[in-house]
Structure 1
């Protein structure tokens, strides 16, 4: 990317929930944004941490030993291998930092029939 990208404008380019879009790359990492609402699924990423920044709304991340609540401006990193279950209020928007190609449903997961697994969609996809 050789031009600035406004995140508010980027969010207007898609409607799907839990299908992160890549807005830029930093070395071998995707910077992804997503609209999220309702429940995701219990899952884990065996080989990578997962960074979350809540931009709008409220993101709740259940871990096996505690629950973390993110409001706008809050950040949290789920450690590699940690099982977690994200859920969000309607209107929640998040930014994530993950290695390029990381599956949105992790390496291990519970029922994901209600989700589409992606590996970082292009913004206009």
Structure 2
């Protein structure tokens, strides 16, 4: 779930783009490709996702962060 705190967020999907303003949120279902982008200078968001979600999606690289413990 992406909750926009300030600014504008554009969420790109394969078939469409959705713009979100401050106070709006979007829930991206598991397995759906998406690419968030700040519109303008910056956008502040609160991101909520399962602890098991890799920060690099389905690609493992030197940037992948593996969670050590569950909360």
TM bracket, shorter-chain basis: 0.7 to 0.9
Task: List, as ranges, runs of 4+ consecutive aligned residues in structure 1 with deviation greater than 3 Å.
Answer: 116-120
TM-score by length of 2: 0.73
Number of residue equivalences: 64
Distance apart, 1:85 and its partner CA? 1.3
TM-score using structure 1 length: 0.45
2:49 corresponds to 1:98: yes
Give 5+ residue unaligned stretches, structure 2.
none
Shift of 1:82: 0.8
Measured on the aligned residues, the alpha-carbon RMSD in Å equals: 2.2
For residues 5 and 43 of structure 2, the distance between their equivalents in structure 1, rounded to whole angstroms, comes to 7
Q: How far apart are residue 119 of structure 1 and its match?
A: 5.7
- Name the counterpart of 2:32: 82
